[in-house]
Structure 1
Amino acid sequence: MTRSSENGRTGRPLLALVLFLIAVFIGGALLAPWLYHALQAVAPGTKLARTSFARVVNRSLLLVALVGVPFYVRASGIRRWADVGLDPRAIRWRRVAAGFALGFVSLAAVCGVALAAGGRALSPRTPGQLAGHFAGALATALAVAVIEELLFRGAIFGGLRRAMPWGAALVASSAIYAIVHFMARPANPPQIGWLSGLRVLPTMLGGMAQSGGLVPAFLNLTLAGCVLALAYHFTGDILTSIGIHAGWIFWLKFYGYLTKAVPGVDPVFWGTRKLVDGWLAFVALVVVLGAVLLIARRGRSRATGS
């Protein structure tokens, strides 16, 4: 193989990712006003119609990303399910379960410490309400974890590993993951026209300049992305990552419903209803990172017989 052809093969995933991200952000921003006005027309006066424009922009970006993933994957030179870390013929459910237990317990500990120390307080809920929200949060966690792990770890991290050292791919993919999940929700524009999505999109990152923005919230999201990418890199598939991610998402969905803010408490340390935006969550993420590295080390030791 010549040097030029090798450079072409390694540069292809990087170019595909750049074009994919441009299409997602510009396409999603342009699509958002259409979706927003469609909600007003289809469901006037309902909770759905009262969805903030920034939230619609966020969901529009995700929709365009999901539609564009098959094109990005093919442009990156990925041809098999195994190339994105998911082989339907060899799904190891024990890895999913072990990952879920790790993710679930880590943020359950954050929840327990916050409640015990007075960083958050329980919201008054009936057992029926809690059961219903528990089931909904669990279903959402499983679905979102599969979709996002295929996108961010399987497609983006997996594609970038073809174009650069895996450590650089890990940091880049984790930063992209954090940016997408960090977007704030500014107030609706006075008028929503067809270019409003492009105007609002830059302001959706405005939360990074606020206290507790870049640190610890953005740092936590980047670290979470690194943990999930490392689990994929060391195991060779995204099953453990899916499990960890699902355990985390469950608490992200359930924590805000289960608890309420306590006046006078520092949200930068304890976090808000989002749970993962405080220093306490950072500690839990570091523990999970250590567990993933320890498991990977033991796995390599068994493989080499040492």
Structure 2
Amino acid sequence: MLNWQPPKPLQPEQKMPLLVSLYLLAPLILWGVSWLTNKSFSDYGFVGNLSTLGSLALGFGLGVVSLAVVFGGQFGLGWCSFEKTNFKLLLPILLPIFLIGLLVGGIEELVFRGFLFTELAQDYPVWVAAVISSLIFALLHLVWEQRETAPQLPGLWLMGIVLVLARFASSNNLGLAWGLHAGWIWAIATIDTAELITYTGKVSDLFTGKNKKPLAGLAGIFCVLGTGVIIWLFSRYF
């Protein structure tokens, strides 16, 4: 016992197979739970129809545009610059990251805004269920990268709240929240993978995001808050 040392952190090539396995396993577990409780995925807001597809597309577009506005603003203020030479890297990665965004966004929405929120709302007021489910959503991100994720916790929690709002705005359908979540994942992952953004250091990372993570800075918080306001103002149209 005196010679025991904590295991080394998982490397990226080790994390990906484990991550994919967990995400593929989650729907099967929820299916088993829904079968035991005599419920269906539609009770959790996951409905397979054209309305869901339309909401998914709308949410995806809103997520991408919201980030484009934020990064465009930072570019205009001189907080960051675009690496134009890396644009050639975009074409091969757009579709794979899009599919990953759809998978991750869909499963996380089914689990957190679908199953978890629905079950909590049966025992607590809606706002309490939203707060708790969003807190669990944020904290579980610590499983992978504690140091980089910790500064993002307030932003992740707020993101969860906005995604709950998206479910309500879409008449309890998860399509809008799914699309919004997938759009954010796709845009951020594409920017990171192609290394399209370089921060100039003109302002503190309190504004741009610690460790180059938008949700760890005021710009990312503004993006999520602004998206929430748009959803609230135009909820009757979703």
Tell me which interval the TM-score lies in, with the shorter structure as reference length.
0.7 to 0.9
Say which SS state the counterpart of residue 292 (structure 1) adopts. Answer: helix
TM-score where L is the length of structure 2:
0.80
Spell out the pairing of 1:93-108 with structure 2 (5 A cutoff).
Answer: 93-108=53-68
Match of 2:165 in 1: 230
1:86-122 superposed Cα distances (whole Å, 9 cap, x missing partner): 2224543221222112111111111112222222222
Match of 1:12 in 2: none
Q: Do the aligned partners of 1:106 and 1:288 also contact (CA within 8 Å) in 2?
A: yes
Q: Within the alignment, does 1:70 sit opposite 2:31 as a pair?
A: yes
Match of 1:174 in 2: 134
- Find the aligned partners of 1:284 and 1:83 in 2 and give their Cα distance: 30
The structure with the largest alpha-carbon Rg is 1
Equivalences, count: 225
Q: Do the aligned partners of 2:79 and 2:202 also contact (CA within 8 Å) in 1?
A: no
- Can you give the 5+ residue segments of structure 1 that lack an aligned partner in the other structure? 1-32, 37-49, 186-203, 301-306
Compare 174-183 and 260-269 and name the one that shifted more: 260-269
- Find the aligned partners of 1:159 and 1:63 in 2 and give their Cα distance: 20
1:17-37 superposed Cα distances (whole Å, 9 cap, x missing partner): xxxxxxxxxxxxxxxx8xx6x
TM-score where L is the length of structure 1:
0.64
Q: Which amino acid aligns with 2:121?
A: R
Q: Within the alignment, does 1:125 sit opposite 2:60 as a pair?
A: no
- Find the aligned partners of 1:61 and 1:94 in 2 and give their Cα distance: 29
Spell out the pairing of 1:260-299 with structure 2 (5 A cutoff).
Answer: 260-263=198-201, 265-271=203-209, 272-296=211-235, 298=236
Q: Within the alignment, does 1:92 sit opposite 2:52 as a pair?
A: yes
Q: Do the aligned partners of 1:120 and 1:260 also contact (CA within 8 Å) in 2?
A: yes
Q: Do the aligned partners of 2:67 and 2:223 also contact (CA within 8 Å) in 1?
A: yes
Q: Within the alignment, does 1:145 sit opposite 2:81 as a pair?
A: no
1:197-227 superposed Cα distances (whole Å, 9 cap, x missing partner): xxxxxxx37963xxxx2xxx22111111011
Q: Do the aligned partners of 2:113 and 2:133 also contact (CA within 8 Å) in 1?
A: yes
Superposed CA RMSD: 3.0
- Find the aligned partners of 2:60 and 2:23 in 1 and give their Cα distance: 26
- Can you give the 5+ residue segments of structure 2 that lack an aligned partner in the other structure? 1-6
Match for 2:175 among 222, 239, 254? Answer: 239
Match of 1:51 in 2: 12
Distance of aligned partners of 1:81 and 1:132 in 2 relative to their CA distance in 1, 3 Å threshold = same
Q: Within the alignment, does 1:160 sit opposite 2:120 as a pair?
A: yes
Structure 1 residue 184, shift from structure 2 partner = 5.9
- Find the aligned partners of 1:92 and 1:63 in 2 and give their Cα distance: 21
- Find the aligned partners of 1:269 and 1:63 in 2 and give their Cα distance: 32
Structure 1 residue 244, shift from structure 2 partner = 1.0
- Find the aligned partners of 1:136 and 1:111 in 2 and give their Cα distance: 23
Structure 1 residue 180, shift from structure 2 partner = 1.7
- Find the aligned partners of 1:57 and 1:95 in 2 and give their Cα distance: 30
Distance of aligned partners of 1:57 and 1:279 in 2 relative to their CA distance in 1, 3 Å threshold = farther
The percentage of aligned residue pairs carrying the same residue is 25
- Find the aligned partners of 1:158 and 1:226 in 2 and give their Cα distance: 14
- Find the aligned partners of 1:139 and 1:64 in 2 and give their Cα distance: 14
Match of 1:253 in 2: 189
Match of 2:4 in 1: none
- Find the aligned partners of 1:268 and 1:57 in 2 and give their Cα distance: 33
